Amino acid sequence: MFSDISGIIGGGAFPMVLAVLIGASSILALRTGVWPTWLGWAGVVIAIGSLTPVSYIFIAFDLVWVLLMSILIYRWDRAGESVA
């Protein structure tokens, strides 16, 4: 029973959840300019790739994108200036 649930979560749901997270964040970055534009476009490509049948290849890119965003958020100046 648990192997079926882990297969569903790890095989299908995880890439979709990451695609929604990265896609929404990337669209926000492109519309507002809060984050660098290159990271927004890279996120759009990664989000679309995560929804394809070869999404297992994009999981590494998903994790790198999340790491880069985490570093940017950590280094963000709280005075209201953008990182871009």
Mean per-residue pLDDT, 58-79:
84
Residue 82: closest CA among 26, 41, 29, 22: 29
Q: What is the pLDDT of residue 3?
A: 60
CB count in 10 Å sphere of residue 43: 28
Q: What is the pLDDT of residue 22?
A: 92
Q: What is the pLDDT of residue 54?
A: 82
Residue 40: closest CA among 22, 55, 57: 22
Mean per-residue pLDDT, 31-59:
89
- Per-residue pLDDT of 22-39, as tens digits, reads 999 999 999 998 888 999
